[in-house]
Amino acid sequence: MEIPYERTGRGSETVYTINPRVLQDEIEKKVESEKLTTINICRTILALFYGSELREEDDFYVTTTSRGRRNYHIKVNTHTLNAMHSFI
C-alpha cells in the first residue's frame, strides 16, 4: 500500500505500509508447504530494516492497531533504497 503525504518544508514523500497479515496471505498462496506465522514475518521485516541500518522514526516507523497488530511504514527515498540494496 502506498500513501503519499506532505510535510511542511520537505515536499512530498512516499510511504509504503507493510501489513504482515496481508503479506502472510500472499506468501502462503505461493509457498503452501512451509509453516509461516505473522510473528515470523514481523521479525523478518524488522531484521531487514535494522540490518539495512535504517533509523527508526527517520526512515521507518511502526504503528499498532487497537487489537495489537502491527503495521510497518517505510519512507521511500534514495537513502532507504540504497541502504536496503546494499544489505540484500
Looking at every residue in the chain, the average pLDDT score rounds to 83
Whether residue 9 has pLDDT greater than 90? no
Whether residue 16 has pLDDT greater than 80? yes
Gap between the Cα atoms of 46 and 61, Å rounded = 10
Whether residue 8 has pLDDT greater than 50? no
Look up the pTM and report it: 0.78
What are the residues whose beta carbons fall under 8 Å from the beta carbon of 36, sequence distance 6 or more? 24, 27, 28
Query: From 2.40.50, 1.10.357, 3.30.1490, 1.10.10, which CATH number describes the 2-87 domain?
Result: 1.10.10
Domain parsing of the chain, residue ranges: 2-87
- pLDDT band for position 60 (cuts 50, 70, 90): very high
- pLDDT band for position 63 (cuts 50, 70, 90): very high
